[in-house]
Amino acid sequence: MTQTISRSGRRAGGTAAPSGSPPATGRKPWRRRDRAIASVAVLPLLLPFVLFALVPIGYVVYLSFTKYNGVLDPVWVGLSNYEILITDTVWWRSVRNTLIFGAGSVVFEIPLALGLALLLNRRVRFGGGFRAIFFIPNVVSIAVIGIVFYFLLRPVDGVINGLLSWTGLVPEHYDWLGSGPSAMASLIAIGVWSGFGVNTVFFLVGLQTIPKEVVESATLDGATGWKHFWHITLPLLAPILRVVIMLTIIFTMRSFDIVKTLTDGGPAGQTEVMFTYLFGYFFSLDRGAQYGYASALAVVASIIIAIISLIYMRFSRDGGSR
């Protein structure tokens, strides 16, 4: 007769079953040993990160407390650079311009990329070709894009300016980069054009991961058009939407190439952004080499970007958990 053994280790008749091995208590020694070996194996991989990321960051932070021109030894000045920064009106204007540029890029770029992704997600003819065309701006260097658009927007012989003036939409020989509002609008438009392609691809990948069963069930329940997008597509796309917005904020807040090649902060500093301003203190001859003050600007710029990113992550996480 076969005797059954319960989970408690006793036979049905009440006799204890023989135990082949003692019960496991705590973590096994070999697991702890493997974790230690893995930690040691990872250390060489962390060395490049420490040398080429943490050490330069630490050196920049150190320089921000010094007066240094690149020739003589750094002289410790404490918080003097940060005190000058607080009263630097040009710097805070560049911060404002950076926020305007970043907000304008997010407001226009995200809806455009999402709309194109929704169109390309359908079965359209030459869909693969359209995806490649939209992604082309991301393959080209931002500096090259800035130079190309600089010639396209020239007031006398620029192609874009010529077409718009020919249709009567703008006055003849209109200088798009010669006034503050139009220059900032041009920068935002070119930034959106150069960045929406990769965001379209991200959204398209997210749309294609939505289960077809969910879409079909929602359609059978009568959810179509805007109702389907708002209650089905957008909630399921929310995780990748948050990531795309986060990346767009970071990239636009760090903008340098497009501003440097198109306006160089002009006219009269009306398109000066944080990184073109601190670039001037690092390398510009008219401001002189003020590496200490430039390092302080870099530290504060990084803190501003980090704060904005953390605020967005906090609000988006709270909104996504409701």
pLDDT digits (tens, 9 = 90+) for 5-54: 444 444 444 444 455 555 555 556 667 777 777 777 778 888 888 888 88
* Average pLDDT value for residue range 229-234: 83
Whether 173 and 161 have beta carbons less than 8 Å apart is answered as yes
Res 64: pLDDT: 95
Whether 279 and 234 have beta carbons less than 8 Å apart is answered as no
Which comes out higher in pLDDT, residue 22 or 188? 188
Q: How far is CA 191 from CA 188, 230, 251, 273, 306, in A?
A: 5, 28, 10, 14, 21
* Average pLDDT value for residue range 97-119: 93
Categorize the per-residue pLDDT at 215 as very low, low, confident or very high, splitting at 50, 70 and 90: confident
Question: How many residues in total does the chain contain?
Answer: 322
Q: What tokens were used for 79?
A: 């918080």
Res 232: pLDDT: 82
Exposure on the CB side of residue 57, measured as CA atoms within 13 A: 11
Nearest by Cα to 205 from 107, 112, 120, 320: 120
Cα(269)–Cα(95) distance, rounded to whole angstroms? 12
- Crossing angle of the two packed helices 234-253 and 291-320, in degrees rounded to 10: 170
Domain 88-319 adopts which CATH fold? MetI-like fold (1.10.3720)
Q: Is residue 311 over pLDDT 60?
A: yes
Whether 69 and 291 have beta carbons less than 8 Å apart is answered as yes
Q: What tokens were used for 75?
A: 């002289």
Cα(85)–Cα(65) distance, rounded to whole angstroms? 12
Pure H helices in the chain: 29-49, 55-63, 80-86, 89-120, 127-139, 142-152, 159-166, 180-208, 212-220, 225-228, 234-253, 257-262, 274-283, 291-320
* DSSP state string for 163-180: HHHHTTSS-TT--TTSSH
Q: What tokens were used for 164?
A: 């718009």
Res 29: pLDDT: 63
pLDDT digits (tens, 9 = 90+) for 266-281: 888 899 999 999 998 8
Res 28: pLDDT: 61
Q: The whole model's pTM is what?
A: 0.80
Rg (CA), the chain: 29
The overall average pLDDT reported for the chain is 83
pLDDT digits (tens, 9 = 90+) for 112-150: 999 998 888 877 676 677 777 878 888 888 889 999 999
